[in-house]
Structure formats: structure tokens, C-alpha cells
């Protein structure tokens, strides 16, 4: 597995990531736009989510605001959440990894995603499931860029879900990047909200790198903003549903230009409903999930300190 530093250097220089060919010279620093979230009727927002539920945790307020302004919102999920041993234990009542059960869990989580998106007002036509393996994205964009990855959870080496954008695509970084580029071609985003590579979860870090690389190849890094779910031990604090409190910057966000995005009370309530639609996740981590229903969301212009 390559180091995160190598991944980020590759992302900003459009060099090689485990065999990914260079596509040209990209400026190593972002050009910071004047506004954190330029929202209008012309906005085409793409939310890049590693797993079903991440988009609602971090971006519900922005999604609602763009739709209220008359803009368009699309969501792409890189995985369908088929690698959760905790879900397997609590939801499926199983102590053992059973590939069939985990694929069934992924189908449930995709359906929950559709329900959450509907609560937020996102059109079903603007929802994209890529179907790559939960807890495997970092390996795919490094060690398995060319050679297919095998999920230890589903035993799949290719996208197994008929509802995915490209069913049957082998689990390689090359295919993942192609599928993500296909979504960009369909959506033509003017604003992309993606995970920060500072997030402690490897799927989140890798998802951020996939988005950065793709936008860098298009010379559109200035359209990106970054959010975090796994921002450090015990963050967010306090845990649980505290809708009157602010979401404070995470410890791992130190050095990032994080700016609060203030939510209206009705936006907070819609966000709570969208998160609650993830019944499989609420069974195992409701206190953590509801900790994101606060008076604000946090977005950073720069993905890493110094960029």
C-alpha cells in the first residue's frame, strides 16, 4: 500500500498513482475562489460519497440550499457499504462473514440512499452507484490499479450490483477512475463536495484522491470543496442529537481553511430525516450519525494544509 503522501503528491501533479499514467501538468496549488459555496440557479452540485450515508452527514444543508436556489444536485457513491462487520453482527445477526449477506446489506443501503436523497429532494435520475468494494478503495487506487482486487467481504472481483453504473467492471483503479469520469461527463458540475484526504478512514481518503485526480485532469480543482466525517477520536463532540450546537472543526482539520456553512432550522430537520433513513446504520451508530445534525456544516477550500 502506497503512503498517503505519495497519493496526494500524485493527485496534485497528475503523476503516477500505482501505474496511473500522467495526463499533463497540473498546478500544485489550488486557486481559492472568493466564495466558499457559490450557489445559484446555475449551480450543478456533485456530492462525492464513499459510502451510503456520508452524503447526508456532511452535505445535506448544501444539497437543500442548491435545490432551493433552483440548481441541480447529483450524488455519486463509490461503494455500497458492503464491508461492515458491525452491520453484519447487529443487522444480519451473524458472527461470520457471509458474502451473500453482505451483498444483501449493500442492496438495503442503496435503497436507504434513494430514500434519503428523496427526503432531500434529489431526483432519482441524478443518483449514481459505482459499486466498488467497501474498505477497498485505497487498495484499488494503489496496489490494484491494473490487477483486479478481491473483496474479503463479498468475495467479488468486479461490480456485482445490477443497479450500479457499470455492472461487471473489474475492481481496478483504472475502472474506478473511468466510471467516476463518466459521472463527471454526465453531470458537468460547477461545484464538487468531496471527502478531505485528511479524513482518518481509508475509503474517505482514497475517495478524495480519486475526485482530486479527476478534477485536476480537467483543470477544475477550483470547483472543489472538502468535508470530513472521521475527523479524529471522539469527534464530533458531544455525541448525539444536539441541533442547537455548532459543529466544531475536527482535530484532523487543523491547518485547513474550514468555513462554517450555516443551516436554517428547517434544513437541520430535513437533514435529521435524511440521516434517519439509514436504518441499518442507525441500528449500530445512531449517536455518531446524529452528531452531524448541528447548526452548520464545515467545508474547506484546501484539501491539505499548505495547498
Domain count, the chain: 1
Give percent of the chain with pLDDT exceeding 90. 77
How far is it, in rounded angstroms, from Cα 161 to Cα 165? 9
Grade residue 85 by pLDDT with cuts at 50, 70 and 90. Answer: low
Average pLDDT estimate for 275-300: 96
8 has pLDDT over 60: no
How far is it, in rounded angstroms, from Cα 265 to Cα 279? 23
What are residue 170's DSSP bridge partners?
158
Residue 20 lies in a domain: no
Q: What is the pLDDT of residue 28?
A: 33
Average pLDDT estimate for 146-150: 98
59-83 residue pLDDT tens: 999 999 999 999 999 999 999 999 8
181-200 residue pLDDT tens: 999 999 999 999 999 999 99
Q: What is the pLDDT of residue 93?
A: 53
The CA dihedral of 25, 31, 36, 39, to the nearest 10 degrees, is -70
Residue 129 lies in a domain: yes
Residue 25 lies in a domain: no
Grade residue 29 by pLDDT with cuts at 50, 70 and 90. Answer: very low
Residue 307 lies in a domain: no
230-270 residue pLDDT tens: 999 899 999 999 999 999 999 999 989 889 999 999 999 99
Q: Which cell is 84 given?
A: 461492515
User: Sheet harboring 224-227: ordered strands across?
Assistant: 127-132, 72-79, 44-49, 191-195, 224-227, 296-300, 258-262
Residue 206 in contact with residue 137, Cβ under 8 Å?
yes
How far is it, in rounded angstroms, from Cα 305 to Cα 188? 28
Q: Which residue has the cell 447548526?
A: 295
**Residue closest to 98 by CA, chosen among 80, 85, 111:** 85
Average pLDDT estimate for 210-214: 98
Q: What is the pLDDT of residue 36?
A: 62
Q: What is the pLDDT of residue 33?
A: 38
Q: Which residue has the cell 484532523?
A: 252
Grade residue 98 by pLDDT with cuts at 50, 70 and 90. Answer: confident
**Residue closest to 132 by CA, chosen among 78, 63, 72, 197:** 78
What are residue 46's DSSP bridge partners?
74, 192
Most confident option among 1-5, 10-14, 136-140: 136-140
CATH number assigned to the domain comprising residue 260 = 3.40.50.10320
Residue 241 lies in a domain: yes
Grade residue 15 by pLDDT with cuts at 50, 70 and 90. Answer: very low
Q: What is the pLDDT of residue 96?
A: 53
Residue 28 lies in a domain: no
52 has pLDDT over 60: yes
Grade residue 26 by pLDDT with cuts at 50, 70 and 90. Answer: very low
- The angle formed by the CA atoms of residues 43, 78 and 206, to the nearest 5 degrees, is 95
Q: What is the domain extent for residue 263?
A: 4-9+44-300
Residue 255 in contact with residue 19, Cβ under 8 Å?
no
Q: Which cell is 18 given?
A: 500505482
Q: What is the pLDDT of residue 86?
A: 57
The pTM score is 0.88
Average pLDDT estimate for 166-173: 98
**Integer-rounded Cα radius of gyration of the chain:** 18
Residue 14 lies in a domain: no
Residue 156 lies in a domain: yes
Q: How many Cβ atoms are within 10 Å of 200's Cβ, its own excluded?
A: 16
Amino acid at each position: 500500500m502506497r503512503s498517503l503522501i505519495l497519493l496526494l503528491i500524485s493527485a496534485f501533479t497528475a503523476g503516477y498513482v500505482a501505474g496511473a499514467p500522467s495526463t499533463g501538468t497540473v498546478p500544485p496549488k489550488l486557486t481559492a475562489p472568493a466564495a466558499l459555496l457559490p450557489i445559484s440557479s446555475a449551480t450543478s452540485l456533485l456530492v462525492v460519497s464513499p459510502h451510503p450515508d456520508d452524503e447526508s452527514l456532511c452535505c445535506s444543508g448544501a444539497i437543500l440550499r442548491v435545490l432551493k436556489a433552483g440548481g441541480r444536485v447529483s450524488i455519486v457513491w463509490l461503494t455500497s457499504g458492503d464491508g461492515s462487520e458491525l452491520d453484519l453482527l447487529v443487522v444480519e445477526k451473524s458472527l461470520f462473514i457471509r458474502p451473500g449477506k453482505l451483498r444483501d446489506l449493500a442492496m438495503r443501503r442503496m435503497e436507504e440512499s434513494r430514500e434519503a436523497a428523496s427526503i432531500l429532494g434529489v431526483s432519482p435520475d441524478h443518483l449514481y452507484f459505482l459499486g466498488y468494494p467497501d474498505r477497498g478503495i485505497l487498495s484499488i487506487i494503489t496496489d490494484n490499479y491494473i490487477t483486479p482486487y478481491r473483496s474479503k467481504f463479498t468475495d467479488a472481483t468486479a461490480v456485482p450490483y445490477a443497479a450500479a453504473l457499470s455492472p461487471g467492471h473489474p475492481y481496478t483503479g483504472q475502472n474506478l477512475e473511468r466510471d467516476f469520469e463518466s459521472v463527471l461527463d454526465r453531470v458537468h458540475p460547477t461545484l464538487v463536495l468531496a471527502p478531505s484526504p485528511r479524513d482518518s478512514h481509508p475509503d474517505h481518503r482514497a475517495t478524495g484522491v480519486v475526485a482530486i485526480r479527476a478534477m485536476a485532469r480537467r483543470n477544475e480543482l477550483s470547483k472543489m470543496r472538502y468535508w470530513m466525517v472521521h475527523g479524529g477520536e471522539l469527534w464530533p463532540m458531544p455525541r448525539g442529537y444536539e441541533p442547537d450546537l455548532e459543529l466544531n472543526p475536527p482535530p484532523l482539520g487543523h491547518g485547513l481553511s474550514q468555513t462554517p456553512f450555516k443551516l436554517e432550522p428547517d434544513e437541520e430537520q430535513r437533514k435529521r430525516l435524511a440521516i434517519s433513513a439509514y436504518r441499518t446504520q442507525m441500528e449500530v451508530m445512531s449517536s455518531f450519525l446524529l452528531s452531524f445534525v448541528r447548526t452548520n456544516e464545515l467545508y474547506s477550500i484546501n484539501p491539505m494544509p499548505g495547498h
